[in-house]
Amino acid sequence: MKINWKVRFKNKAFVIAFITAVVAFIYQVLALLGITPAVAQNDILSLLSLLVNMLAGLGILIDPTTKGVNDSGRALTYEEPN
């Protein structure tokens, strides 16, 4: 299985889904061990979502299917989503 992780982590949707899955996994493991964290899961997810949005706003997280921050020439010709 070959996955280009570098490109995947440039995609905002993937980053949010990945972080959510990791946080949920950690909380599930803690629940199995009978540990109750002092910070609620929703608070952590809200903080991480804020961080991801800041990274996207700074242009660090971009659409990895196009070069640079512009749409491709083909995408500019679309009248509606393809």
Higher-confidence residue of 65 and 14: namely: 14
Q: Is residue 82 part of a domain?
A: no
Q: Does 9 have pLDDT greater than 80?
A: yes
Distance CA 32, CA 19 (A): 20
Q: Is residue 81 part of a domain?
A: no
Distances (CA, A) of 14 to 3, 5, 17, 19, 80: 13, 10, 5, 8, 23
Q: What is the H or E stretch that residue 53 is in?
A: helix 41-57
Burial (CB count within 10 angstroms: exposed 0-12, middle 13-18, buried 19+), residue 15: buried
Its domain, for residue 10, covers: 5-76
Distance CA 27, CA 41 (A): 7
- Number of domains observed in the structure of the chain: 1
Under the banding of pLDDT at 50, 70 and 90, the label for residue 69 is low
Q: Does 26 have pLDDT greater than 90?
A: yes
Contact 9, 64 (CB under 8 A): no
